[in-house]
Structure formats: structure tokens, C-alpha cells
């Protein structure tokens, strides 16, 4: 008998508090598996955001630090500069990273801070009750946009990966999704690549992962995955935007 799949040592025994079908759990597992496979669990330090993933310090079995809203890249900068041999990562949602933390992420990547950011984009503010986020799609309903996001009033959704890919010291930028098995495998590869590049000290690494929010989207978990595929991927195209190792 061979074990094909079991829970990674990178996760603690604590059960996730996420809503049923929320893909945060898949992304947690992928990050934890990558840390375990690269042998980084003892050296890794994660920075937790504010948002649905605020309790992620309870779920990862490596060292974790909570940061103020949006400031995870600033905290990670300090941690990485003091512990340059550690694998440092931030785990942030779109409300945290793309709005209040937009300055921190832009300047951390501009400086080429050598940590990895895992950016979970579910196009809405989850924890606070489904308000419109910078990444909410045009026409998508939110509690602060009951008739759907109005392009004339609220502008167009922010494509963070494309924006960061224009910054020279952001050496690895990729957008992936977790809506089916092939994409989950691709997401894991991207996260692994990001950590490998970080450990080589080449610069700032960034992985954006499209995620669902069944509760605030008002859909079942299965409908949410379909909605992600049909609506988010056309506006947030998947793929690699920058890979320093392919340039060389």
C-alpha cells in the first residue's frame, strides 16, 4: 500500500474557518506543500494579512507574523532583511493587497525585496461582508455596488500582476487559478518556482491566484468555480508575466 495523498506537515491540525467551498483552503495547502517539498518549513516565516486569511498564522506550521492591514510587504521586508536566509512570504487577499496595501506592494517590488507574495484574488472583500474591491469586475454585484460595479463611477478592476510585471525588480510574476485539477497543479508549480527564485536571491516574486468567494458572490461552491472560469479569467488572463530564469 502506498499513500498517494495525505495532509502535509506544513499545515497544523487546526481546522480552517473558511466558508464551505472557499478555495483559500486549497491555496493554503499548496503553499504548505511547497514549503515541505523544498525543505523550508524550519526556515520559513510567513506574514498574515487582514481579511479572510487573517488567521492563517494558526494554519501554517512555520513561523508566522500578523501585519496591519495591507502592510504585510513592509513587515516582510524587515523580516527578510534581518533573516536573509529564511524563506519569507506574505499571504494577502485582494482587499488587503490591491487597495489599502497597494503602495506597500508596489514599493516592495520596486525595491526588489527578496520575498514571495501569494496574492489571493477573489474580486470582493470577503471578511467584511462582500463590499466592492479594486478587483471587483464591472457589473459584478457587491454590497456597496447593489446594481453591479459601475465603470463610470468606480473605474475598471485593477490587474495587479500586469502592473507589477512592469517593475524591473519583480523577477517572477504569474497569475494562476485553482478552479480545476490541471490549474491546481499549475498553481503549485508557480508557487514552487517563486520560492526557488526567492531562495536564489534573485528578487521579488509574486503569484496571483484567482479564488472564489461562494458566500459573498451568492452562489454555491460549484457555481462559483464556473463563474470564476467564465467571468474572471477573461479579464484576469492566466499565465506568466515575468520569469527571470527564462530571460537569461
Partner 1 sequence: MAGKVIFDENTCKGCELCVRVCPVNIVHMDKERINIKGYHPATVKEMDKCIACGSCAKTCPDVVIRVEKL
Is residue 25 at the binding interface for partner 1, with CB under 8 A as the rule? yes
3-class SS string, 19-53: CCCCCHHHHHHHHHHHHHHCCCCCCEEEEECCCHH
Question: In 10 A of CB 153, how many CB atoms?
Answer: 7
Contact 75, 43 (CB under 8 A): no
d(CA 236, CA 233): 5
Nearer to partner 1, 98 or 225 (CB): 225
Instruction: Dihedral sign for Cα 44, 66, 107, 207, please.
Output: positive
181 binds partner 1 (CB under 8 A): yes
Q: Residue 9 interacts with partner 1 (CB under 8 A)?
A: no
How long, in residues, is the chain? 248
Alpha carbon distances (Å) from 206 to 154, 165, 194, 202, 220: 26, 9, 7, 12, 29
Closest separation in Å from C-beta 204 to partner 1:
28
DSSP code of residue 138: B
18 binds partner 1 (CB under 8 A): yes
Q: Which stretch binds partner 1 (CB under 8 A): 4-12, 43-51, 81-89, 114-122?
A: 4-12
Residue 205 binds partner 1 (CB under 8 A): no
Determine, following the binding rule CB under 8 A, whether residue 157 of this chain makes contact with partner 1: no
Contact between 5 and partner 1 by CB under 8 A: the answer reads yes
Q: Residue 112, interface with partner 1 (CB under 8 A)?
A: no
Candidates 15-23, 79-87, 135-143, 233-241; binding stretch for partner 1 (CB under 8 A): 15-23
Q: Which is nearer to partner 1, 49 or 214 (CB)?
A: 214
Q: Judged by CB under 8 A, does residue 3 bind partner 1?
A: yes
- Of positions 22, 34, 53, 56, contacts partner 1 by CB under 8 A: 22
Q: Does 230 bind partner 1 (CB under 8 A)?
A: no
Contact call for residue 225 and partner 1 (CB under 8 A): yes
Among 82, 103, 156, 222, binds partner 1 (CB under 8 A): 222
Element (H, E) at 198: helix 181-199
Beta bridge partners of 225: none
- Which of residues 132, 184, 190, 210 is near partner 1 by CB under 8 A? 184
Exposure of 134 in the CB half-sphere (CA atoms within 13 A): 14
Binding site for partner 1 (CB under 8 A): 1-7, 11, 15-16, 18-26, 29, 180-181, 184-185, 214, 220-222, 225
Amino acid at each position: 500500500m502506498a499513500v498517494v495523498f495525505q495532509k502535509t506537515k506544513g499545515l497544523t491540525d487546526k481546522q480552517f474557518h473558511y466558508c464551505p467551498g472557499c478555495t483559500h483552503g486549497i491555496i493554503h495547502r499548496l503553499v504548505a506543500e511547497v514549503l515541505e517539498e523544498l525543505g523550508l518549513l524550519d526556515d520559513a516565516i510567513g506574514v498574515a494579512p487582514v481579511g479572510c486569511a487573517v488567521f492563517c498564522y494558526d494554519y501554517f506550521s512555520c513561523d508566522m507574523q500578523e501585519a496591519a492591514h495591507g502592510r504585510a510587504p513592509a513587515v516582510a521586508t524587515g523580516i527578510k532583511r534581518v533573516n536573509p536566509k529564511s524563506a519569507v512570504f506574505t499571504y494577502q487577499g485582494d482587499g488587503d493587497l490591491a487597495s489599502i496595501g497597494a503602495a506597500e506592494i508596489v514599493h516592495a517590488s520596486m525595491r526588489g525585496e527578496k520575498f514571495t507574495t501569494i496574492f489571493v484574488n477573489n474580486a470582493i472583500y470577503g471578511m467584511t461582508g462582500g463590499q466592492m474591491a479594486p478587483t471587483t469586475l464591472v457589473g459584478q454585484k457587491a454590497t456597496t455596488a447593489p446594481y453591479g460595479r459601475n465603470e463610470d463611477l468606480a473605474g475598471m478592476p485593477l490587474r495587479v500582476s500586469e502592473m507589477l510585471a512592469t517593475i524591473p525588480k519583480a523577477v517572477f510574476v504569474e497569475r494562476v487559478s485553482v478552479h480545476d485539477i490541471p490549474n491546481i497543479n499549475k498553481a503549485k508549480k508557480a508557487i514552487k518556482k517563486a520560492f526557488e527564485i526567492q531562495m536564489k536571491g534573485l528578487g521579488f516574486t509574486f503569484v496571483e491566484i484567482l479564488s472564489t468567494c461562494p458566500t459573498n458572490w451568492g452562489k454555491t461552491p460549484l457555481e462559483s468555480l464556473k463563474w470564476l472560469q467564465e467571468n474572471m479569467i477573461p479579464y484576469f488572463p492566466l499565465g506568466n508575466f515575468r520569469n527571470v530564469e527564462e530571460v537569461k
